[in-house]
Structure 1
Amino acid sequence: MVYNRAAVIIIDKDKVLLLHRIKKGKDYYVIPGGTIEEDEKPEEAAVREIKEETNFDIELGEVFCRVNDFMHNGIYFLAKKFSGELRLGGPELQRVNDNNQYHLEWVHKKDLQKLLLYPKEVKEKIMDYFSS
């Protein structure tokens, strides 16, 4: 399978790091990550994207899940370790304006159910992870 998106589930105790998007009046959340560049391995893209978007240095753990739908073929890793000062960066920071906002947020597991988190399959798997 060829993946076009790599993302990382970063968990700190009972919270998960999400990217809160407010775009043209729509309010939703996504997992930090992004496009896998040509000749780049998914693992390399995941580490690069997390550094760009969050300023975190991460050590990848296992593959958390894979999502193949009409939007993308995504591979989601679980972060084994992370360090650094959390701050938005990369193209996301450059694209911020009144109609296009990005906010990094630690979301408590009890608040996940009420959020609009894409893709939905990943949201369900994160909730399952916290309940196991």
Structure 2
Amino acid sequence: MRSRAALLIVDNGHLALIKRICDDETYYVFPGGGIEAGELPQAAAEREALEELGVKVEMGPQVFLTIGSGKEYYFLASITEGRFGSGSGEEYTDPERGRGSYKPVWVPVEMLTAISLYPEALAVAVLRQYTAGELQYNKWA
């Protein structure tokens, strides 16, 4: 697996996620995707925000890094312009991909451990840090 970059966008106690339905399974993932050759993780996260969510973002600090079959970088971000849910990436425009459906949604942060959110360990960490006041929207502004 190649490295990927993802976003944590928190607004009014809700976290932006992608609801996935694939092979009759419903689960959620953080918006983001693969880092292209020569692309910095932060630039990849900005690109993915536009492709998947339809928004431009102001990037905040990297708050998580997971290492498995590839590195996954997670950044705080805030929406600066665009319309949430208007993404036009290939996951929305190419029905031949056969990878199920993608839908941007806002989920209450306190519900993170009650849904199937991948990676699961990150759901617990996000909830813990949010409760401690460490994942505040526009914290860096």
Q: What is residue 75 of structure 1 aligned with on the other side?
A: 73
Unaligned runs of at least 5 residues, structure 2: 133-141
Give structure 1 regions of 4+ aligned residues with deviation exceeding 6 angstroms. Answer: none
Displacement, 1:111?
1.6
CA distance in 1, matches of 2:10, 2:102: 19
Structure 1 contact 55–85 (Cα < 8 Å) conserved: yes
Taking the aligned partners of 2:118 and 2:94, their CA distance within structure 1 comes to 20
Count how many residue pairs are aligned between Structure 1 and Structure 2. Answer: 129
TM-score (norm 2): 0.83
Report the counterpart of residue 92 of structure 1 in structure 2: 91
2:43 alignment partner AA = E
Whichever residue aligns with residue 102 of structure 1, its letter is: Y
Q: Does the C-alpha gap of structure 1 residues 68 and 85 become closer, same or farther in structure 2, counting only changes over 3 Å?
A: same
Shift of 1:95: 4.0
Structure-1 residue corresponding to 2:49:
50
For the residue of structure 1 that corresponds to 2:115, the secondary structure is coil
**Displacement of 1:84:** 1.6
Superposition RMSD in Å: 1.9
Q: How does 1:9-24 map to 2 (within 5 A)?
A: 9-24=8-23
> Contact 2:55 / 2:87 at 8 angstroms: preserved in 1?
no
Offset at residue 92 of structure 1 (A)? 1.4
SS of the equivalent of 1:93 reads: helix
Structure 1 partner of 2:103: 103
Cα separation, 1, equivalents of 2:65 and 2:18? 19
